[in-house]
């Protein structure tokens, strides 16, 4: 079993990768849904960190700070940086507050606040419109920190059109010059369903996903 199949097995076992009929935030009707809020145990988040660390290391991108946008990016930045340290790659981690604070230090960027010249990688669960990239760039501008965002790491590339005829990940690369890396993609999910998955009605869901990509895929 390859690493992508292992990862998809893991997502299904955790109740994160679901199949059925779902309405997405975009209003699109999707035959599958990714709910990373279902990672609930230390064992699960530890294993997830292993998958992310493997992807980050294999990408070959040099980074100084792993940045996790609030909220779902926060535990990902923490666990991935810890797992990278276990394999000899020590990076700092950082994240933001969603709400402004009028007490304490009042900072909007927590953890290892990036410094001018730092190479930043953003870590997320999924991305659909590149919103986190734009918000992160603006956040660093407001903090007057000159950094280079080198990569975006996500779990699944949904391969859907963004605001135009290209996918959200392609749009991020075009607009910001940022490479996007995913552990798996929608096409990998389809292959997973068609080749040995034990999920009930796997073939039916695979076909529905193919139709979905024909309509919304880039």
User: Which residues are part of the catalytic machinery?
Assistant: 101, 103
Tokens of residue 142, six digits: 């407001």
Contact 166, 194 (CB under 8 A): no
Dihedral pair phi/psi, residue 18, rounded to 5°:
-120, 150
C-alpha span between 17 and 26 (Å, rounded): 18
Query: What is the DSSP track for 16-81?
Result: -EEEEEEE-TTS-EEEEEE-GGG--SHHHHHHHHHHHHHHHHHHT---SEEEE-TTTHHHHHHHHH
DSSP state of 192: H
Tokens of residue 192, six digits: 């997973």
C-alpha span between 29 and 101 (Å, rounded): 38
CB-based burial label for 5 (10 Å; 0-12, 13-18, 19+): middle
Q: Which residues pair with 76 in a beta bridge?
A: none
């Amino acid at each position: 079993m390859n690493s992508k199949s292992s990862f998809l097995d893991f997502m299904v076992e955790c109740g994160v990768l679901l199949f059925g009929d779902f309405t997405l935030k975009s209003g699109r009707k999707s035959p599958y849904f990714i709910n990373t809020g279902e990672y609930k145990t230390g064992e699960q988040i530890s294993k997830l960190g292993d998958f992310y660390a493997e992807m980050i290391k294999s990408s070959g991108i040099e980074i100084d700070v792993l940045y996790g946008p609030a909220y779902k990016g926060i535990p990902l930045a923490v666990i991935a940086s810890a797992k990278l340290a276990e394999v000899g790659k020590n990076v700092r981690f950082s994240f933001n507050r969603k709400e402004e604070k009028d007490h304490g230090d009042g900072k909007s960027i927590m953890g290892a606040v990036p410094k001018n010249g730092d190479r930043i990688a953003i870590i997320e669960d999924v991305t659909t419109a590149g919103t986190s990239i734009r918000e992160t760039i603006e956040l660093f501008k407001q903090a007057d920190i000159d950094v280079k965002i080198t990569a975006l790491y996500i779990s699944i590339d949904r391969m859907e059109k963004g605001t135009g005829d290209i996918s959200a990940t392609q749009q991020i690369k075009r607009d910001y010059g940022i490479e996007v890396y995913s552990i798996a993609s929608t096409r990998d999910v389809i292959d997973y369903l068609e080749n040995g998955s034990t999920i009930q009605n796997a073939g039916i869901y695979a076909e529905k996903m193919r139709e979905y990509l024909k309509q919304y895929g880039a």
